[in-house]
Amino acid sequence: MHMADALLSPAVGATMWAGSMAAIGYSCKKLKENIDNKTIPLMGIMGAFIFAAQMINFTIPGTGSSGHIGGGMILTVILGPYAAFLAIASVLMVQALFFADGGLLALGCNIWNMGIFPCFIAYPLIYKLIAGDGKNARRISIAAIVSVLIALQLGAFSVVLETLLSGKSELPFGTFVLLMQPIHLAIGLVEGIITAGIISYVKKVRPEILQASNTLRPLDAGISIKNVLVVLVILAVITGGALSWFASTHPDGLEWSIEKVTGKGELEEATQGIAPALKDIQEKTAFLPDYGFKPAVKEEPKENEAPAWPGIEAGTSVAGIVGGAIVLMFILFIGFGIRLFKK
């Protein structure tokens, strides 16, 4: 479910970075308020644990294919939302750097999608609600499964939104949602069952670990549902506001400035290309009309779009190919040159 740099526009990337960084800062501040000195090493090492656990594969029942876990919910249940959020953010960062999972720019999105939802939404709003005081094993299992499911659904939906807002992919909103949500329903079910299994195992073998996280750390108790909702609403407003500002004034983030410099704007035609009849629907359904989410409705024959594509004239593209080839050869040449020179 990792978002990738290449699918992102700078605007979306930057906004999500800002949002995630703010959440990290806020969590650090909250954690500092009543920190137990043990927490710092514990967070780091738990992060490493999740990282290692994600690398073990298992056979998904009924399918024969193999999967691995995300582990966000386990961390949250053990460490409490703030510490867990930081640990998840760290894991994602290590993955971005060492495995290039997603990438650095998409890191903001990934932290948001896989950290915020389990820690600050699914945990306080769902897990805590269902699990109650954490004494009833059955309730804990149900809580784990449901909360993981919901966190993953939200995360997947968020990926869809980010991708579409970035406008690099042509996938229509509806199709994309239909692709992502059911897949993550299945993933979430498996992950939820695993999470429940691990929590109940820990509860059986070392109950004091779970108790510690239930009672000793006031962090869990400290999160009130009201606060969560307020923060969420604020964040949503800020994010939405920032995104729509970017999207409306700057067709593709920095692109507006290119238009000025090079004079080749490229996006107007996207809106023109869609038949006027559809334009109406589109303006009603898409919240960022400028971006022209291509509606899933496809009665419109494709040929209509073709002439509306004046983007690159023939001469330019040939020059591009020739120039590109030369540039690449030049770069390769430099690479080999330095290598030879060094030997």
Partner 1 sequence: MSHHIVEFKNVSFLYPDGTEALRDISFRITHGESVGIIGANGAGKSTLLLHINGYLMPTSGTVNIGDLYLTRQTRQEIRRKVGVVFQNPDDQLFMPTVYEDVAFGPLNLGMDETAVRERVEYALNLVSGLELQNKPPHHLSCGQKSAVAIASVIAVEPDILAMDEPAANLDPRSRRLLINLLKTFEHSKIIASHDLDLIMDVCHRCIVIKEGTVVADGPVMEILTNKKLLEENHLELPLSLQRR
Partner 2 sequence: MTFDEKYYNIGFLDQLAYKNTFVHRLDPRAKLIVTLLFLFTVVSFSKYEIAALLPFFLYPMLLMTIGEIPFMFIFKKVVFVSPFAVFIGIFNPLLDSGQVFIFSGLTISAGWLSFFSILIKFTLTVSTALLLVATTSFPGVCHALRQLGVPSLFVSQLLFLYRYIFVLMEETMCIVRARNMRSYGERGKDIRIFVRIVGILFIRTVERAERIYYAMLSRGFQGDMPSLKRFHIKTGDIVFALSVAVFLYFFRFYPATQILGRFVQGVFS
Q: What amino acid is encoded at 84 in this protein?
A: A
Q: Which two tokens stand for residue 149?
A: 């499911």
- Could you tell which of partner 2, partner 1, none binds residue 302, using a CB distance below 5 to 8 A set by kind? partner 2
Decide if 144 contacts 196 (C-beta within 8 A).
Answer: yes
Residue nearer to partner 1 on the CB measure, 95 or 200: 200
Residue 58 CB, nearest distance to partner 1 (Å)? 13
Residue nearer to partner 1 on the CB measure, 41 or 64: 41
Residue 84 within binding range of partner 2, rule CB under 8 A = no
Residue 62 within binding range of partner 1, rule CB under 8 A = no
Residue 271 CB, nearest distance to partner 2 (Å)? 13
Residue 259 CB, nearest distance to partner 2 (Å)? 10
Residue 280 within binding range of partner 1, rule CB under 8 A = no
- Could you tell which of partner 1, partner 2, none binds residue 162, using a CB distance below 5 to 8 A set by kind? none
Q: Which of 205, 306, 314, 340 binds partner 1 (CB under 8 A)?
A: 205
Residue nearer to partner 1 on the CB measure, 208 or 280: 208
Cα separations in angstroms, 311 against 9, 70, 76, 166, 295: 19, 42, 49, 19, 22
How crowded is residue 336: how many other Cβ atoms within 10 Å of its Cβ? 10
Rounded to 5°, angle at Cα 106 from 244 and 104:
135
Residue 61 within binding range of partner 1, rule CB under 8 A = no
Residue 55 within binding range of partner 1, rule CB under 8 A = no
Nearest to 96 by CA among 107, 87, 85: 107
Cα separations in angstroms, 101 against 3, 6, 65, 96, 133: 8, 12, 21, 5, 37
- Could you tell which of partner 2, partner 1, none binds residue 262, using a CB distance below 5 to 8 A set by kind? partner 2
Binding mask 39-78 for partner 2 (x = CB under 8 A): -xxxxxxxxxx-xxx-xxxxxxx--x-x--x----x----
Residues in region 282-301 near partner 2 by CB under 8 A: 294
Cα separations in angstroms, 12 against 46, 167, 258, 270: 30, 10, 18, 19
Residue nearer to partner 2 on the CB measure, 41 or 226: 41
Decide if 37 contacts 143 (C-beta within 8 A).
Answer: no
Residues in region 18-47 near partner 1 by CB under 8 A: 41
DSSP calls for 212-234: IIIII-HHHHH--HHHHHHHHHH
Decide if 119 contacts 80 (C-beta within 8 A).
Answer: no
Residue nearer to partner 1 on the CB measure, 41 or 276: 41
Residue 284 CB, nearest distance to partner 2 (Å)? 21
DSSP calls for 68-126: ----HHHHHHHH-HHHHHHHHHHHHHHIIIII-SS-STTHHHHHIIIIIIIIIIIIIII
Binding mask 129-168 for partner 2 (x = CB under 8 A): ----------------------------------x---xx
Residue nearer to partner 2 on the CB measure, 105 or 126: 105
